[in-house]
A and B are shown apart, each in its own frame.
Chain A
Amino acid sequence: MNDSDKQQFEQQTILQLLDEFEAPPVSLDFNRRLWQTLEAAPPPSFFGLAKTWLKPAIPLAVLTALVVAGFAFDHHPASPGVTTLDADRMERTLDDIQLLGQFETNQEGVPAV
């Protein structure tokens, strides 16, 4: 018997020896005990179940949000800053204030009659 044959024989013998290590039968009340424990345990929470049901929709929701955000970024209206109308109005007001200031100065300079 060469080394390879010897090794194969020994391996087979080991596997046969391991067959002799039998496990005892499982108790007849194994299932009953398990169900008793399970029934005593609280049911899963609503949020736990909802999370499970909604989980497959999360990637779709993220994708939709990204598409909407991209669209909004591309098509956003001009920023509501200072319009030309506002600028004109502001300029006129400043002019009015300046005129009023000059008018008051002139009045102070007019000698009393």
Chain B
Amino acid sequence: MGSAPAIDFDAQLMLRVREGDESCFHTLLDRHRNSLVHFLYRMVQDAGAAEDLAQEVFLRIYRSRTKYEASAKFTTWMFRIATHTALNWLRDEKHTRRQTDLEAQRDVADRHPSTEQRLVNGVRVAEIRTAIRNLPEKQRAAVLMHKYEGMDYAQISGALECSESAVKSLLFRAYESLRAQLAHLIRGDI
């Protein structure tokens, strides 16, 4: 005997937002604000831009509330919008330039740590950050959703609008690339 698939709690909240209950949008915002901003920060590696993009994502969600259908998990839909927003931002040349400038400023700051340990940690984190930034955009998004958001293949495929086998392939190549780029850290050279 089959049963209708259960609608997740977030989707129920969103359906209530669609009916005009704004308090449910507050709840959704509180539940997902941090994970969304952190995902976008790791995608674009610019704290200010990540918050601006997260605002844009929540705006889009709110504005499309009347068209919302609970056909997939709410977070899958939210990360799909977030990925589109981040990819558009990354493809914009102006932002790439601004990002490079910010990165240069951070590198200068990293060169003046107060202790040797802070220096070592700063270098390690900078290398990890660079390794993630060097990944192709879709691989980067897949790794971030898999590693930091704990999303499964089905959810990632929904967010990236590709097949599950394509997600597996993206993740395999991304982790291989990270392993190659961070081999010296794996060996413990730093």
| B37 x A26 contact (CB < 8 A) | yes
| Minimum C-beta distance from B183 to chain A (A) | 8
Q: Which interface residue of A18, A22, A37 has the most chain B CB atoms within 10 A?
A: A18
| Minimum C-beta distance from B154 to chain A (A) | 20
Q: How far is the CA of A11 from the CA of B34 in the complex (A)?
A: 26
How many chain A residues touch B (CB < 8 A): the figure is: 26
The dominant DSSP class at the A interface is helix
- In the complex, which residues of chain A have a beta carbon less than 8 angstroms from the beta carbon of B178? 14, 18
| B186 x A20 contact (CB < 8 A) | no
Range for the number of chain B residues in contact with chain A: 35 or more
CB within 8 Å of A: which B147-190 residues: 147-148, 175, 178-179, 182, 185-186
Q: How far is the CA of A13 from the CA of B184 in the complex (A)?
A: 11
| B18 x A37 contact (CB < 8 A) | no
- In the complex, which residues of chain A have a beta carbon less than 8 angstroms from the beta carbon of B59? 34, 37-38, 41
Q: Which 3 A-B pairs have the closest CB atoms?
A: A23-B38, A23-B41, A52-B66
List residues of A whose CB falls within 8 A of some B CB: 10-11, 13-15, 17-18, 20-24, 26-27, 30-31, 33-34, 37-38, 41, 44, 48-49, 51-52
